[in-house]
């Protein structure tokens, strides 16, 4: 690994996990495998989110109008582009979390014996009409002004294993939406039912979106 550390020194790069493990001399096959797994899965997650964002922005012109709006700020205010990202994650990219009980536990009055496989139904919770009014409608206003409680919304998982890429995903999603709506008008040219991709449901392979340039709007 000394050669890798030297190579990192010679090509000064921004701080990163790989560099950290090389410098600490703790890079082994397990660490490398975990890093690759993290980057590959995260790239599918981010890529999938971007395609869903494209579809929703193209599907409903009001979403783009909302992204271009500048509602009054204030405590707990959320930027429209972030609200669109969060609503898209709620509708389209929340599936399930899997756990195995390592000991007998009682959760909410229910006995779960050791070694049980537990499926935490995030998709179902995100589409529960008792929590989200009209749950199959894309309505980013739900996320304006802190309308959704942390206990009702978990696209990034829960507790100790919550996704490490939350802030990154939100920031990239926001930039993506801002760029789309400030430079283009999007319309659906063709579409079909969602399909199951490598890891997640994704828009139909028949989805095609027409981009029309519009004059850049100043913020």
Residue 60 CB, nearest distance to ligand HEM (Å)? 20
How far apart CA 2 and CA 167 sit, in angstroms, is 33
Of residues 199 and 214, the one with the C-beta less far from ligand HEM: 199
Of residues 66 and 156, the one with the C-beta less far from ligand HEM: 156
Geometric angle at alpha carbon 204, from 155 and 132, rounded to 5°: 35
Of residues 6 and 13, the one with the C-beta less far from ligand HEM: 13
Of residues 5 and 163, the one with the C-beta less far from ligand HEM: 163
**Residue that has been written with the tokens 């964002």 in this structure:** 53
Lookup: tokens for 6: 């030297």
Q: How many CB atoms lie within 10 A of CB 193?
A: 8
Geometric angle at alpha carbon 202, from 40 and 159, rounded to 5°: 60
Q: Which residues contact 76 (CB under 8 A, 6 or more apart)?
A: 145, 146
Of residues 80 and 155, the one with the C-beta less far from ligand HEM: 155
Residue 91 CB, nearest distance to ligand HEM (Å)? 12
Cα distances (Å, whole numbers) of residue 203 to 12, 70, 89, 124, 136: 40, 29, 13, 19, 15
For 88, how many CA atoms within 13 A lie in the half-sphere containing its CB?
30
Among 114, 84, 89, which Cα is nearest to 100's? 114
Contacts with ligand HEM in 130-169 (CB under 6 A)? 155-157, 161, 163-165, 168-169
Residue 21 CB, nearest distance to ligand HEM (Å)? 14
Residue 54 CB, nearest distance to ligand HEM (Å)? 14
Residue 120 CB, nearest distance to ligand HEM (Å)? 8
Task: Enumerate the β-bridge partners of residue 58.
Answer: none
Of residues 8 and 17, the one with the C-beta less far from ligand HEM: 17
Among 145, 44, 43, 127, which Cα is nearest to 90's? 127
Contacts with ligand HEM in 6-35 (CB under 6 A)? none
Of residues 66 and 176, the one with the C-beta less far from ligand HEM: 176
Lookup: tokens for 103: 């000991």
Q: Which residue is nearest to ligand HEM (CB)?
A: 165
- The answer to whether 203 contacts ligand HEM (rule: CB under 6 A) is no
Contacts with ligand HEM in 38-57 (CB under 6 A)? 38, 42, 45-46, 49
**Which residues are at the interface with ligand HEM (CB under 6 A)?**
38, 42, 45-46, 49, 89, 93, 97, 155-157, 161, 163-165, 168-169
């Amino acid at each position: 690994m000394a050669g890798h550390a030297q190579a990192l020194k010679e090509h000064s790069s921004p701080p990163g996990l790989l560099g950290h493990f090389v410098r600490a001399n703790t890079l082994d096959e397990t660490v490398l495998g975990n890093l690759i797994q993290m980057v590959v899965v995260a790239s599918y997650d981010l890529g999938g989110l971007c395609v869903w964002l494209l579809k929703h922005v193209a599907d409903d012109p009001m979403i783009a109008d909302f992204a271009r709006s500048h509602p009054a700020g204030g405590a707990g205010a959320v930027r429209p582009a972030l609200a669109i990202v969060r609503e898209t994650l709620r509708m389209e990219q929340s599936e399930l979390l899997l756990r195995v009980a390592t000991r007998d536990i009682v959760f909410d009055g229910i006995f779960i014996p050791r070694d049980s496989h537990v499926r935490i139904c995030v998709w179902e919770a995100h589409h529960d009409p008792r929590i989200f009014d009209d749950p199959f409608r894309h309505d980013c206003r739900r996320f304006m002004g802190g309308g959704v409680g942390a206990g009702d919304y978990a696209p990034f998982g829960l507790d100790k294993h919550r996704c490490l890429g939350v802030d990154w995903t939100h920031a990239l999603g926001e930039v993506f939406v801002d760029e789309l709506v400030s430079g283009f008008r999007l319309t659906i040219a063709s579409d079909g039912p969602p399909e199951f991709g490598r890891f997640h449901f994704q828009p139909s392979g028949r989805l095609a979106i027409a981009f029309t340039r519009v004059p850049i709007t100043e913020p």
